[in-house]
Amino acid sequence: MNNQSPKPFIIPLFIPNMGCPHRCVFCNQTSITGQEHTRLSVQQVQETTSRFLGFKGYHRGRVEVAFYGGTFLGLPKPYQQSLLDEAQGFVEKGQVDSIRFSTRPDTITSDVLKALTPYTVGVVEVGAQSMDDTVLSLSRRGHTAEDTRNAVKLLKDHGLRIGLQIMPGLPGDTTGSILETGRTVAELKPDFVRIYPTVVVKNTVLEKWYGSSRFKPLSLADAVELTKRLYLLFEARAISVIRMGLQASGSLLEPGAVVAGPFHPAFGHLVHSAIFLDLAARELEMQKTLSKRIILRVRPREIPKVKGLSNHNIKQLIQRFDLKELRVVPDPTVRENTVRVENSLT
């Protein structure tokens, strides 16, 4: 669990479904992004960027304008350039540091990246989703794992920071293929990753497949466990995991928007809590003697992770180790991502 650099101040601009040559079986971008499928105008780029800049405090880091929700490099070139021109104007005024966008791996070519030279693009996020070609085919992605490998190489050659997005639990996925995707992505050495366990969203092909029992999503417990293993895999290689689970946008929280699958508004917290449950259990197991009353000392900001949602971890540890009482105490002298056990409680 490495220390991450300060988070940038991101100004999000959504282009849901735009530029996508395929409609993947899991995709309903309007639900996922919370934005209606309308063409983002240059005026909206101007207005949204100006409005967000008004929210930026002095303590925030670098500012990035981010185009999310579609395949940016798949947009018609004149339209793509008009959006970039508007964002670049803020860069040249010194109000924004750089531009970032998300795109499909098969839209990234050497010529396309050369065309970006006039613009201050700093980060490109690539929707890899899986590194298993069978899974990609069943999901109707329209690209291969090799396309992702080639895209990463080209982006690195052009000196760009790279984010890779993966979706555990797609059609055809197994525990083995999910973990192999994680290992393969780690070998590509992106700067960061996002992990979005697959959920069944309304008005998608996946909803029809789920209704006919053709597709079964991961349970929440399995998704948390697999994401935990992926998180630890990436963190061990100093690859930051900047998000786990879909953001709980207003549209996703509407009744019926998520039909099935491991969606939880605090999914990332569940994963971190699972990691700390393992840490605490390991420390307790290492004690030569264990009293019935225990104190766990942790850094103050890590108390919620140690306790778990609704004190889940506390209950699990009391039951597992047959304790009468377990308290979590804040202690700033404890190292980050560490649990210190006191074997008595008075």
Q: How confident is the model at residue 345 (pLDDT cuts 50, 70, 90)?
A: low
Contact between 97 and 91 under an 8 Å Cβ cutoff? The reply is yes
CB 27 within 8 A of CB 165: no
List phi, psi (to 5°) of 127: -80, 85
Residues 198 and 329 in one domain: no
- Confidence category of residue 34, pLDDT binned at 50, 70, 90: very low
Residues 35 and 182 in one domain: yes
- Do 51 and 106 sit in the same domain of this protein? yes
pLDDT band at residue 35, thresholds of 50, 70 and 90? Answer: very low
d(C-alpha 29, C-alpha 17), whole Å = 6
Domain hosting 305: range is 286-342
Beta bridge partners of 329: 297
8-23: pLDDT as tens digits: 899 999 987 676 766 7
- Here the CATH number for the domain that contains residue 42 is 3.20.20.70
- The arithmetic mean of pLDDT across residues 94-101, rounded, is 96
Residue 272 forms part of a structural domain? no
pLDDT band at 59 (very low <50, low <70, confident <90, very high): low
Number of domains in the chain: 2
243 and 303 within one domain: no
Whole-number mean pLDDT of the chain?
A: 91
Quick check: 250 pLDDT over 70? no
**Nearest Cα to 181, choosing from 143, 229, 131, 224?**
131
DSSP state of 262: S
Q: What percent of the chain has pLDDT over 70?
A: 92
> What is the rounded average pLDDT of the residues 185-203?
96
Helix, strand, coil percent values for the chain (each to nearest 5)? 40, 20, 40
pLDDT per residue as tens digits for the range 115-128 = 999 999 999 999 99
Residue 292 shares a structural domain with residue 244 = no
Q: Is residue 274 part of a domain?
A: no
Sign of the alpha-carbon torsion through 29, 30, 35, 36:
positive
Quick one: pLDDT band at residue 173, thresholds 50, 70, 90?
very high
Given a contact cutoff of 8 angstroms between Cβ atoms, the answer to whether 196 and 139 are in contact is no
Quote the pLDDT of residue 23: 76
Q: Indicate the range of 98-102, 207-211, 253-257, 313-317 predicted with least confidence.
A: 253-257
**Is residue 95 included in any domain, yes or no?**
yes
Q: CA-to-CA distance for 103 and 109, rounded, in angstroms?
A: 12
Residue 191: is its pLDDT beyond 60?
Answer: yes
Is residue 44 located within the same domain as residue 160? Answer: yes
| Residue 62 is assigned to a structural domain of this protein | yes
- Give yes or no for residue 5 having a pLDDT over 70: no
Kindly state whether residues 259 and 292 are assigned to the same domain. no
Q: Note the Cα 38 to chain centre separation in Å.
A: 25
Q: Is the pLDDT of residue 153 over 60?
A: yes
Q: Are residues 108 and 158 in the same domain?
A: yes
Helices 267-285 and 312-320 sit at what angle, rounded to 10 degrees? 30
Assess if residue 337 is contained within a domain: yes
**Distance, CA of 326 to CA of 115 (rounded, Å):** 60
Does residue 247 belong to any structural domain of this protein?
yes
In-domain check, residue 280: no
pLDDT above 90 covers a percentage of the chain that reads 81
pLDDT above 60 (res 1) = no
- 64-92 tens-digit pLDDT: 999 998 899 999 999 999 999 999 999 99
Q: Of 151-155, 215-219, 255-259, give the lowest mean pLDDT range.
A: 255-259
Query: Both 117 and 211 in a single domain?
Result: yes
For 74-142, give the DSSP string.
GS-HHHHHHHHHHHHHHHHTTS--EEEEEE-GGG--HHHHHHTTTS-EEEEEEEEE-S-HHHHHHTT--
> Which tokens belong to 309?
């949602």
Burial classification of residue 258, based on how many CB atoms lie within 10 Å of its CB (0-12 exposed, 13-18 middle, 19 or more buried): buried
| Same structural domain, 51 and 139 | yes
Label residue 155 by pLDDT band (50, 70, 90): very high
Helix (H, G, I), strand (E, B) or coil at 337: coil
Could you tell me if residue 32 is inside a domain? yes
Residues 73, 38 share a domain: yes
Instruction: Check whether residue 293 and residue 249 sit in a common domain.
Output: no
